[in-house]
Amino acid sequence: MPNCTTVTEFLLLGFSDTRQLQILHFVIFLAAYLAALVGNFLIITAVTTDHHLHSPMYYFLANLSILDLGSISVIVPNSMANSLLNTRTISYAGCVSQVFLFFLFSSSDFSFLTIMAYDRYIAICKPLHYEIIMNRRACIQMAAGAWAAGVMYSAVHTGSTFSLLFCHSNIINQFFCEVPQLLKLSCSDTYCRELAALAFSVCLGLVCFVFIVVSYVQIFTAVWRIPSEQGRQKAFSTCIPHLIVVSLFLSTGSFAYTKPVSDSPSPLDLLAAVLYCVAPPLMNPVIYSMRNREIQAALGNCSTS
């Protein structure tokens, strides 16, 4: 066993040492963060204030916006503060909290995307039973289940990661506490843990992914049977934004966590992290409001009132 010292803080080496580039990073992240805050707050406000949007689909969408606000707020403000103040440290407890909360919001996000696929399946394939199946109690239970699943998933990953001994270094080649980077710092044997965590993640992710795919295969089959062109367009208008959001979430997350972890700060690692940490919370409100006339009308009412 190598000599181990207790790690009390980590150093985040994600971005440049040049002061001008640090300020540029702060400005870009500030713009993205404010845009994500405004977009998701508008979605939440529209859903809660407009009675036309008091339906299961928009209830789940409001939860998704809350999760997006949480996931981007866990990482981006701390990174902006480090750039502005020219600091790089994050405490051990802060790193644990960051990992736990980010996994909580991200995994719950995927759970809600799966629930929303089920909601669209019931609405299009079984419209006569929609109000019975997707009643208020069922929606609350599904939402509570998604949050609970996120807590359990996050607790497993966080506990598995921080039960390791960190003795190789305390330098993280990223702008936040990313789990693959943390595993590199451990002097414990991480192979079994990495394999177990990966298998657990793949199994849960695959179940959700297969459920979404099967739901949409049946949805598209039912949509093509709708005789009127207007009816098909209305059905597609509620499904396409959800599919785009699912694709964005899966593509950015898969790319970030399946690529090899480099031994030194890499532009590719930074780009991947920015894509899956910043892009989904920033783009989701735009995607959902772009093709949804009810959201557009509600946002218009909010702006005029």
Q: CA-to-CA distance for 64 and 275, rounded, in angstroms? A: 18
Please classify residue 252 by burial: count the beta carbons closer than 10 Å to its beta carbon, then call 0-12 exposed, 13-18 middle and 19+ buried. Answer: buried
β-sheet bridge partners, residue 150: none
Per-residue pLDDT of the chain (305 residues; tens, 9 = 90+): 444 556 788 888 877 778 888 899 899 999 999 999 999 998 998 889 888 888 999 999 999 999 999 999 999 999 999 888 888 889 999 999 999 999 999 999 999 999 999 999 999 899 899 999 999 999 999 999 999 999 998 998 898 888 878 776 788 888 899 888 888 887 766 667 667 777 777 788 888 889 999 999 999 888 888 787 777 777 777 788 888 888 888 887 777 667 666 666 677 778 888 888 888 898 888 888 766 777 777 777 765 65
Which amino acid is located at 110 in the chain?
F
Query: Can you give the pLDDT at residue 291?
Result: 63
CA torsion angle 271 273 276 279 (round to 10): -50
CA-to-CA separations, 14 to 129, 179, 246, 283, in angstroms, rounded: 51, 14, 27, 23
Check residue 2 and give its pLDDT: 46
**What CA–CA distance (Å, rounded) separates 7 from 89?**
12
The whole-number pLDDT of residue 194 equals: 66
Rounded distance, CA 172 to CA 88, Å? 10
Question: Do 121 and 219 touch, CB atoms closer than 8 A?
Answer: yes
Structural domains in the chain plus CATH codes:
9-304 (1.20.1070.10)
Full DSSP string of 107-144: HHHHHHHHHHHHHHHHHHH-GGGHHHHT-HHHHHHHHH
Contacts of 133 (CB under 8 A, 6+ apart): 122, 126
Give helix 191-224 / helix 136-162 axis angle, nearest 10°: 160
CA distance between the termini of the chain:
66
* Cα dihedral 206, 178, 143, 297 sign: negative
Write down the H helix ranges in the chain. Answer: 19-49, 56-85, 92-125, 130-133, 136-162, 179-184, 191-224, 229-258, 267-277, 279-290, 293-304
Q: How far is CA 121 from CA 37, 65, 154, 227, 232, in A?
A: 30, 21, 28, 18, 14
